[in-house]
């Protein structure tokens, strides 16, 4: 016992001496000398250390995109993390009911491949400035570290890493949970779980039109080799246009559910400039839908520029304005988004659009005529889909969705009214929503639908009569003005 105590005392003294010596070196030795000592010390240790380490960082290229290798390794390690690791972190699985477990920070697990043992560890580095932060810092840099004996180098490079990538991709697909992303004021993506129930079966649309859209989407998802053959990025643009309430957002959700894609809802007004727009594009994943809703309202993207005379007029009007007011106005302009039409076009089909693969870009608008033709031409928005008012086929879909009815004596009355009335699927759905669940609930909903159609028909007739009256009045005024002008001209000649 005494000898053991002396041994520990000796080891403690030695460690203290080494720490003191290193502190002196850090304090008084030049930086170049310290670097040389570190370099040769590392070589000396590795000469006797029989293990090799490979590091896989979460982010590369100045954090512009999350490493796919890191994500794949993360998925691979979930297969044995729950059985061997002591500290784990949990996330929701594909159906949000099951939890997916992965390694927590600074945890290690072992793995075996062809009888060889490997060690995986999850670590992170944090910059000194983040220790006083109340929130998790973006300066945290996570990485996985693989450790193995140097005699197995060839096995790792030839087989093991390929095995990890293949298995990781399979696990990732199995556990993948679709997400709905949005960008914030710092031009970074945040997400929630995507659980929208809309499908093509529940969309109020003609069956032929739905089939055409579905065939186009499925064909796109299977066309990787074709796009490579023709030399185009594997992406496709969709333009959804029509009046409000015609189901444009539901169409996007149905597309995501059909193809099992993530959705990136891009808010252009939160993007500082074209550089930030490119950064957001790079950070989107494959198998995703990039959505810009109400593109006509997001920014002034008509492509028109102010004339020089108008700019001169603005400059003259600004003369004599106090400097403080001018400064505040300039600050307000600086906060506005500087995304340009050119930047958005490059985002859609320029060089930067080739980042990632298997992507859909979807624009929605209520007023397609307001958009610059360059923005929606074929090749950028490859397929134009008009989301129109509800017809009888669409009504039948909604009646089945809301009332579980595929036929009813009142259907014929509704069919006749729909031929002469414009009503959106959203209004139809509101009328078909049961207000109670009594015996006559379904008939009450259909009768409410008929009343709504009759009111819409009467309103349309009233507006049509007012327009006809206004047109007639306008023609009378033109005729009267023409007659007065002719009479005046006759008097002048006389």
pLDDT of 241 reads 94
**Cα–Cα distance for residue pair 427/247, rounded to 1 Å:** 11
pLDDT of 271 reads 86
**Helical residues (DSSP H) of 132-247, grouped into ranges:** 153-155, 161-175, 207-221, 224-230
**Cα–Cα distance for residue pair 90/82, rounded to 1 Å:** 10
Measured over the CA atoms of residue 163, residue 164, residue 167 and residue 169, the dihedral's sign is negative
- Is 74 within 8 Å of 63 (Cβ atoms)? no
- Is 88 within 8 Å of 104 (Cβ atoms)? yes
Is pTM, for the whole model, over 0.75? no
**Cα–Cα distance for residue pair 168/175, rounded to 1 Å:** 10
Structure token pair of residue 280: 């957001």
**Cα–Cα distance for residue pair 232/224, rounded to 1 Å:** 10
Q: Which CATH number describes the domain made up of 189-304+336-386?
A: 3.40.50.300
**Cα–Cα distance for residue pair 8/4, rounded to 1 Å:** 6
Structure token pair of residue 415: 């069919």
**Cα–Cα distance for residue pair 451/417, rounded to 1 Å:** 10
Structure token pair of residue 33: 């000398």
Structure token pair of residue 215: 């065939």
Nearest one of 175, 169, 179 to 82, comparing CA atoms: 175
pLDDT of 7 reads 64
pLDDT of 97 reads 53
- Is 111 within 8 Å of 80 (Cβ atoms)? yes
Alpha-carbon distances of 409 from 316, 405, 413, rounded to whole Å:
70, 11, 8
Q: Which residues pair with 120 in a beta bridge?
A: 109, 146
Structure token pair of residue 108: 């290690």
Q: What is the mean pLDDT of each run of 10 residues along the chain (494 residues)?
A: 61 71 66 64 66 86 70 82 71 61 81 91 72 49 89 92 89 81 82 91 92 96 90 91 93 94 90 86 88 81 46 52 53 63 78 77 91 83 92 93 92 92 92 84 92 90 84 81 76 69
What phi-psi label fits residue 61: left (phi over 0), alpha (psi between -120 and 50 degrees) or beta? Answer: left
The domain ranges of the chain are 36-128+136-177, 189-304+336-386, 392-477
pLDDT of 471 reads 83
**Cα–Cα distance for residue pair 165/303, rounded to 1 Å:** 46
**Cα–Cα distance for residue pair 418/405, rounded to 1 Å:** 18
Local structure of residue 104 (DSSP, 8 states): P
Alpha-carbon distances of 27 from 65, 204, 272, 279, 468, rounded to whole Å:
38, 75, 44, 42, 92
**Cα–Cα distance for residue pair 260/295, rounded to 1 Å:** 24
Longest dimension (CA), the chain: 140
């Amino acid at each position: 016992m005494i000898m053991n105590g002396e041994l520990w005392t000796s080891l403690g003294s030695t460690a203290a001496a080494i720490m003191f010596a290193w502190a002196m070196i850090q304090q008084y030795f030049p930086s170049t000398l310290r670097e040389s000592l570190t370099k040769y010390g590392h070589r000396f240790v590795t000469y006797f250390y029989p293990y090799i380490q490979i590091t896989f960082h979460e982010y590369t290229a100045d954090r512009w995109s999350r490493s796919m290798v890191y994500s794949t390794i993360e998925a691979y390690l979930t297969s044995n993390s729950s059985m061997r690791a002591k500290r784990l972190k949990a996330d929701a699985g594909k159906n949000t009911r099951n939890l997916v477990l992965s390694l927590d920070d600074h945890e290690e697990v072992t793995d075996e491949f062809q009888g060889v043992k490997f060690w995986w560890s999850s670590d992170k580095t944090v910059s000194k400035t983040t220790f006083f932060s109340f929130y998790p810092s973006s300066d945290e840099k996570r990485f996985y570290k693989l450790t193995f004996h140097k005699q197995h180098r060839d096995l790792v490079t030839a087989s093991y890493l390929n095995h990890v990538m293949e298995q990781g991709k399979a696990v990732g697909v199995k556990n993948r949970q679709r997400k709905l992303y949005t960008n914030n004021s710092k031009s970074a993506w945040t997400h929630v779980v995507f659980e929208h129930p809309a499908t093509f079966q529940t969309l109020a649309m003609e069956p032929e039109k739905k089939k055409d859209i579905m065939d186009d989407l499925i064909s796109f998802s299977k066309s990787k080799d074709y796009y490579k053959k023709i030399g185009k990025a594997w992406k496709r643009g969709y333009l959804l246009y029509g009046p409000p309430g015609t189901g444009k957002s539901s169409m996007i959700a149905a597309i995501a559910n059909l193809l099992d894609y993530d959705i990136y809802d891009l808010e252009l007004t939160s993007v500082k400039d074209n550089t930030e727009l490119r950064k957001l594009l790079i950070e989107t994943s494959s198998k995703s839908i990039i959505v810009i809703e109400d593109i006509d309202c997001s920014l002034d993207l008509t492509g028109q520029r102010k004339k020089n005379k108008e700019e001169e007029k603005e400059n003259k009007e600004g003369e004599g304005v106090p400097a403080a007011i001018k400064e505040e106005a300039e600050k307000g302009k600086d906060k506005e988004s500087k995304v340009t039409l050119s930047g958005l076009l490059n985002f859609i089909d320029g060089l930067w659009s080739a980042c990632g693969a298997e992507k859909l870009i979807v624009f929605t608008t209520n007023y397609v005529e307001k958009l610059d033709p360059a923005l929606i031409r074929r090749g950028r928005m490859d397929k134009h889909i008009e989301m129109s008012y509800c017809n009888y086929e669409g009504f039948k879909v909604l009646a089945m969705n809301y009332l579980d009815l595929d036929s009813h004596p009142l259907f014929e009355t509704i069919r006749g009214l729909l031929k002469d009335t414009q009503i959106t699927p959203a209004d139809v759905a509101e009328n078909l929503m049961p207000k109670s669940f009594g015996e006559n609930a379904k008939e009450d909903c259909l009768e409410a639908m008929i009343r709504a159609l009759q009111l819409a028909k009467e309103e349309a007739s009233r507006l049509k009569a007012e327009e006809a009256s206004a047109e007639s009045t306008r023609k009378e005024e033109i005729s009267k003005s023409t007659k007065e002008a002719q009479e005046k001209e006759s008097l002048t000649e006389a």
